[in-house]
Amino acid sequence: MRRLLVATLATALTLAGTGVAAQAAPAPGAPGIGDSYYPDYGNGGYDVSHYDIRLRYTPATDRLTGTTTILATATQDLSRLNLDFVLDTSSVLVNNRPATFTRQGDHELVVTPARTVAKGGALTIVVQYSGVPSSKVAAGYTAWIRTPDGAAAVGEPEIAWWWYPSNDHPSDKATFDVSVSVPDGVEAISNGVQPRPPVRETLGYTRWSWRSLKPQATYLTFLTVGQYDITQDTTSDGSPVYNAYSQLLPQDFRDAAQASVERTAEITDWESTVFGPFPFEARGGVVTPPGTLGFALENQTRPNYSSAFFRRGSNTYVVAHENAHQWFGDSVSVRNWQNIWLNEGFASYAEWLWSEKNDEGTAQEIFDYVYSSYPDDAAIWTTAPADPGVDELFGDAVYDRGALTLHQLRLAVGDDDFFEIVRTWTAEHKYGNATTEEFTALAEKISGKDLDALFQAWLYTPSKPALPGAARALRAPSAPKSWAAISATHQLLNEH
Ligand SMILES: [Zn+2]
């Protein structure tokens, strides 16, 4: 940013000195989009509208070759731009002319187009590449997961770097076409709908095509390859459901997984009655091989689940959690990673509501249990959900205290206003991005109440909030029936 300002200033001075009307010279786009936690994630200077990702992947060697075409618009007069990417790039075209490119840091690809692009101008960027994703380390690890029979590109916040070049930040969403050629007999699964069935391509390879019709964040775009059984159905409103189960699942895991994930349409239909209309064109879930993915992720339209969620039997709580993210995280996305409690607090609270609906413990009973069961010096209390820091980005304060906060809000404003706040939130920010401050302002607007003290105590203060009034009993309540499933789910979710 400093270099950009200096360059612009120097140009302005030169032009002023010669009496020429001042006009900003084309400048490099910033290497980061401005995230306070991850300053070099995403990039400045352009806005992506569509990714066309066309790959070939061979599980035996973990070798990926591909061409990604990015459609974007310059948001400034642009002399240079960054993409976030770690595979080996062989060529970059910008608007049909070869561009020069170089690596910078551990995940930046710096691209200099042959011609500058004026603000508002269209960019068509074509990147050709190859590599073995599991051999690439960035941000201190390898997010790409190689499995015995394929791979899973599933991760948060980092994953895109290992398989396609992008403007990798939730605040630049786009539509996607993902098309992958894999050896015959191997399945390749991604988000959205299948615009065409798998087709035999070159000898021994079959191409799978997937399409996301609604704006999608880069980290929510996934690719899972391996030996999968795929089930297909349609929801009551006619949208397709695709579920995929690894053939490596032992039968008892497989049955428990299927008894949970096959209920996705039912659970999302119920969530629609609570959160507002389902925002996307398809639904489903993917259950990965044992010992591979260690968590679940709310990939848009189709979460991926670790098989471990189903090791003790069926678990609909994780299905309710990941699919609540379709509204909170996927449709309404964080503006900044600091806002992560807006995703995880709501997804956790969805589990409480699911428990309430199933007579396995009310949200109030779960609140009482969670509130009294953490020691006073636990991270849930010493971390402010509205600013957890990178180390606690997926910690208890973000998940459980986020849900505790929402329950306190519900008590303060009453059920009618609470659920109106929730549905207005998902409607007003549909397919967009939002912040904690926008949420608290909306809650005050709809309820007509001053909620500063509540949010200050629950979201912004790194200590255990006192409960309002002296009415609440302080004896330790017993665990609600749903608690074993909810806490087992959270242990896994917090591990990654
Ligand atoms: Zn979550």
Q: Which of 17-21, 372-376, 440-444, 485-489 comes out lowest in average pLDDT?
A: 17-21
* HSE value, Cβ hemisphere, 13 Å, CA-based, for 363: 20
Distance 317 CA to ligand 1 centre (A): 11
| CA dihedral sign of residues 149, 155, 161, 163 | positive
The whole-number pLDDT of residue 485 equals 87
* Buried-exposed string 294-311: b where 16+ CB fall within 10 A, e elsewhere: ebbbbbbbbbbbbbbbbb
Cβ(487)–Cβ(348) below 8 Å:
no
What's the pLDDT score for residue 490? 82
Q: DSSP state, 162?
A: G
Q: What is the DSSP string of 113-134?
A: -SS-B-TT-EEEEEEEEEE-GG
Tell me which residue of 305, 302, 310, 279 sits closest to 293, measured CA to CA.
305
CA of 29 to the centre of ligand 1 (A): 32
Structure confidence by residue, pLDDT tens digits, 153-166: 999 999 999 999 99
**Cα–ligand 1 centroid distance for 325 (angstroms):** 7
| pLDDT for res 493 | 78
Q: Which of 370, 392, 393 is nearest to 486 (CA)?
A: 370
Q: What is the pLDDT of residue 489?
A: 85
What's the token pair of residue 422? Answer: 């929730």
> 18 C-alpha vs ligand 1 centroid, how far in Å?
57
Ligand 1 centroid from CA 298, angstroms: 7
Q: What is this structure's pTM?
A: 0.94
Residue 319 Cα to ligand 1 middle (Å): 10
Q: What is the mean pLDDT of the segment spanning 305-312?
A: 96
Q: Provide the strand spans (E) within 277-427.
A: 283-287, 296-297, 304-305, 333-334
The yes-or-no verdict on residue 13 having pLDDT over 70 is no
User: How far, in Å, from the CA of 347 to the mean position of ligand 1?
Assistant: 6
496 CA → ligand 1 middle, Å: 11
**Cα of 322 from ligand 1 centre, angstroms:** 6
pLDDT band for 475, please (50, 70, 90 cuts).
Answer: low
Instruction: Calculate the average pLDDT of the chain.
Output: 93
What are the pLDDT digits (tens) for 454-474? 999 999 999 999 997 654 555
Reported as a single tens digit per residue, the pLDDT across 183-201 is: 999 999 999 999 999 999 9
Domains of the chain by start residue, with CATH: 337-495 (1.10.390.10)
344 CA to centre of ligand 1 in angstroms: 5
**327 Cα to the center of ligand 1, angstroms:** 11
Question: What digits encode the pLDDT tens for the residues 76-101?
Answer: 999 999 999 999 999 999 999 999 99
Give the Å distance between the CA of 119 and the centre of ligand 1: 37
Percentage of the chain with pLDDT > 90?
A: 89
Ligand 1 geometric centre to CA of 16 (Å): 53
Once rounded to an integer, what is the mean pLDDT over residues 364-387? 96
CA of 493 to the centre of ligand 1 (A): 7
pLDDT digits (tens, 9 = 90+) for 217-236: 999 999 999 999 999 999 99
pLDDT, tens only, 340-369:
999 999 999 999 999 999 999 999 999 999
